[in-house]
Amino acid sequence: MKFNFSSYLDFMRPSEIRELAKYATSKDIISFGGGMPNPATFPKDRLKEIMVDVLDRDGDAALQYGNTAGLNSLREELVGFLKRTEGIDCAPEDIIITSGSQQALYAIGKLLCNPGDGVITEDPTYVGAISAFNANAIRMHGVPMDGQGVVVDVLEEKVRSLVSKGKAPRFIYLIPNFQNPTGRTLTEKRRQEVIRIASEYGIPVVEDNPYGELRYSGERVRSIRSLDGSVIYLGTFSKVMTPGLRLGYIVAPREVTEKVNLLKQALDLATNSFSQYVATEYIRRGIIYEQIRFNVELYRKRRDAMVRALREEMGDMADFSVPDGGMFIWVTLNNSVDTSRMLIDAIKAGVTYVSGQAFAPNGGHEHSMRLNFTFPSEEKIYEGVRRLRSVILSRAQEAVS
């Protein structure tokens, strides 16, 4: 049998991250590669209690198909959670529960773009967003970032130029808090500017905020959605409960959630009912707030360890900024070493990372890499950075000789 695949496949490429995931579990390899929460943060005992209660009390419904928009009680709990954490005002009907925020990214791309349409992204941006947009044959127009997040002057210029060519971008996709992969946070001033540009040119903003609750230093910055009710906001339980239960959500104007609802009827009918019952209790019992505090304490130490290790081992070889939260540090080498080509040497030396190119919507970032600090222990972080230093040095020497 010859299978004739669709031309959407032309846009899809395998993810280096998925390939690397297998090394994350190998004992001798220190993985800075995954985007994985530390399993020590999984609240297993509390979840066990909740799961037993859910099965005893609501078992028939929790094991049954559910509403496409999501469990009403979970959407009600989320209203309170979003108000308390992000200052977002919304009603349960403004929320649709998704199978992780990854599904939300795919759905939003599919619903707002025709094949060949363009969107604005940060450059670099989340590799899973690149996959979701590629799968819908969407072009990405990356806008560079600096220490304050995406550079809004360049963003406005890009929007203006695309609009003048009759190719208005269909939305602006941003990860304003502790961005994946750079760890940078968009300042409030720039958030306000993004809102102005979006409203002036009539272009929706998609705000993806998986890391917002994982802040280790600095002041909280208000979410873009809390400043403008027309923003499409994406949230997830992956970093504050567990990623394995695959729960995310979209907060958006009703005309958007209604269309997502239609698409979900084709994608999966509804999100996992059992996970939604569990998440409802997880918020209702206040465990989510305890867990966030626990995760922040654990991850702050890991971030500090990685920053110290990088300063000590790579101070002269690389640039990086200290993220106020999230899971990643973006390191750019001062020499001409290509991090993608270096990866195989790094794996042989017992350390992994994701090379910058994986996050490039339009190419580039050959000398950068994303390091995850939430998965390895502090000891492993030091050892991993030391291994990385020696791999970089030997690569740099090869380049010279």
Residues numbered 82 to 111 that lie near ligand PLP (CB under 6 A) are: 100-102
Total binding residues toward ligand PLP, as defined by CB under 6 A = 14
Q: Minimal distance in Å, beta carbon 34 to ligand PLP?
A: 9
274 near ligand PLP, rule: CB under 6 A? no
Q: CB nearer to ligand PLP: give 149 or 248.
A: 248
Q: 98: which strand partners?
A: 248
236 near ligand PLP, rule: CB under 6 A? yes
> What is the SS3 assignment for the chain?
CCCCCCHHHHHCCCCHHHHHHHHHCCCCCEECCCCCCCHHHCCHHHHHHHHHHHHHHHHHHHCCCCCCCCCHHHHHHHHHHHHHHHCCCCCHHHEEEECHHHHHHHHHHHHHCCCCCEEEEEECCCHHHHHHHHHCCCEEEEEEEECCEECHHHHHHHHHHHHHCCCCCCCEEECCCCCCCCCCCCCHHHHHHHHHHHHHHCCCEEEECCCCCCECCCCCCCCHHHHCCCCEEEEECCCCCCCCCCCEEEECCHHHHHHHHHHHHHHCCCCCHHHHHHHHHHHHCCHHHHHHHHHHHHHHHHHHHHHHHHHHHHCCCEEECCCCECCEEEEEECCCCCHHHHHHHHHHCCEECEEHHHHCCCCCCCCEEEEECCCCCHHHHHHHHHHHHHHHHHHHHHHHC
Q: Minimal distance in Å, beta carbon 31 to ligand PLP?
A: 15
Residues numbered 104 to 143 that lie near ligand PLP (CB under 6 A) are: 126, 128
35 near ligand PLP, rule: CB under 6 A? yes
Q: Minimal distance in Å, beta carbon 235 to ligand PLP?
A: 8
Q: Minimal distance in Å, beta carbon 223 to ligand PLP?
A: 14
Task: Rule CB under 6 A: choose which of 96, 113, 145, 175 binds ligand PLP.
Answer: 175
Q: Minimal distance in Å, beta carbon 263 to ligand PLP?
A: 16
372 near ligand PLP, rule: CB under 6 A? no
Q: CB nearer to ligand PLP: give 100 or 323.
A: 100
Residues numbered 41 to 80 that lie near ligand PLP (CB under 6 A) are: none
243 near ligand PLP, rule: CB under 6 A? yes
Q: CB nearer to ligand PLP: give 23 or 201.
A: 23
Residues numbered 176 to 195 that lie near ligand PLP (CB under 6 A) are: 180
Q: CB nearer to ligand PLP: give 43 or 248.
A: 248
295 near ligand PLP, rule: CB under 6 A? no
Q: CB nearer to ligand PLP: give 126 or 216.
A: 126
Q: Which residue is nearest to ligand PLP (CB)?
A: 100
Residue ranges in contact with ligand PLP by CB under 6 A: 35, 100-102, 126, 128, 175, 180, 208, 210, 236, 238, 243, 248
